Amino acid sequence: MDSQLDRDPVCREFRALCRKLGWRVTASRLAVYRFVRGNKSHPVIDSVWEAVQRELPNISRESVYRILTDFADKGVIYQLEKPDVVARYDSNPRRHDHFYCERCGRVFDFSADEVDAIARAAANKLGAITRVEARVTGICEECLRKEQTRTRRP
């Protein structure tokens, strides 16, 4: 990239990030980064693609998707839902919380009723709250056990 871009603070920041991650700085990665960085709108892929096309008219949706996935894998951004997510139906309509296993995809119930009061107090200025649900993501006991036995084997 030319030196003109070096004066751009976002570009400088992105170069440093790429150095840390061992990535090559590309125009498409930079354009995606520029849009998602500090973006509070939780954009879907098509919003990102549309915005990036203003800078790079020929960029494909697939490229944008790949870049976003790479960013999410490295913790630069966070992917709220998996792309293949399907509607889930909970037999328990009463207030409770969920633990999502990122390995097997199972969802477990737990109760942290304190979260309800804390979230309501923190979010009440944003609108009328109808439901509070804590979402915890992690690796379930069973998947942890499987990983341990796998690593123990020669």
Q: What is the dihedral of CA 65, 79, 35, 52, to 10 degrees?
A: 20
Considering only the stretches 9-17, 21-29, 97-105, 114-122, report the one whose residues sit in contact with Zn ion under the rule CB under 5 A.
97-105
- Residue 145 within binding range of Zn ion, rule CB under 5 A: no
Q: Least CB distance from residue 60 to Zn ion, whole Å? A: 34
Give the Cα separation of 14 and 28 in Å (integer): 12
Give the Cα separation of 42 and 52 in Å (integer): 15
SS3 readout for 5-18 = HHCCHHHHHHHHHH
Considering only the stretches 4-12, 21-29, 33-41, 93-101, report the one whose residues sit in contact with Zn ion under the rule CB under 5 A.
93-101
Smaller CB separation from Zn ion, 6 or 147: 147
- Residue 90 within binding range of Zn ion, rule CB under 5 A: yes
Give the one residue of 95, 103, 135, 145 binding Zn ion; rule: CB under 5 A: 103
Q: Which long-range contacts (CB under 8 A, 24 or more apart) does 78-86 make?
A: 80/42
32 by DSSP, 3-state: which? Answer: helix
Considering only the stretches 9-17, 59-67, 87-95, 127-135, report the one whose residues sit in contact with Zn ion under the rule CB under 5 A.
87-95
- Residue 141 within binding range of Zn ion, rule CB under 5 A: no
CB 52 within 8 A of CB 35: yes
Q: Least CB distance from residue 110 to Zn ion, whole Å? A: 9
Q: Which residues bind Zn ion (CB under 5 A)?
A: 90, 101, 103-104, 109, 140, 143
